[in-house]
């Protein structure tokens, strides 16, 4: 396991060094607000979507069959609307 610490440059380094070493790559795509979305997108696109798991954040531009994220805002709305 390697951690990118919210830094796209570090994630890029990790992905480049790990290319071809694993069957699957799990990314929790949380970054600082100053990170450029195009930079992050370019890094994530380096991984084959069949090998990519995205956890905890919906990234609509990336379609992978291995995606899990929480829709907490929907849950909060539903909870509050039933009160």
pLDDT for 49 equals 84
Q: Where are the domains of the chain?
A: 8-81
pLDDT for 73 equals 56
HSE (side-chain half, CA atoms, 13 Å) at 76: 4
Q: What is the mean pLDDT of each run of 10 residues along the chain (83 residues)?
A: 84 92 87 82 88 75 64 59 64
Instruction: Report the alpha-carbon angle 42-48-49, nearest 5.
Output: 95
pLDDT for 37 equals 80
Distance CA 14, CA 34 (A): 20
pLDDT for 59 equals 66
The pTM for the full model equals 0.66
Distance CA 19, CA 21 (A): 6
The label of the residue with tokens 């994220």 reads 69
Distance CA 19, CA 53 (A): 15
């Amino acid at each position: 396991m390697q951690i990118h610490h919210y830094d796209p440059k570090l994630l890029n380094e990790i992905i480049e060094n790990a290319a071809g070493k694993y069957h699957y790559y799990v990314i929790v795509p949380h970054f600082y607000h100053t990170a450029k979305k195009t930079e992050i997108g370019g890094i994530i696109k380096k991984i084959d979507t069949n090998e990519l798991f995205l956890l905890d954040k919906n990234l609509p531009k990336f379609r992978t069959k291995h995606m899990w994220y929480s829709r907490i805002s929907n849950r909060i709305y539903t909870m509050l609307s039933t009160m």
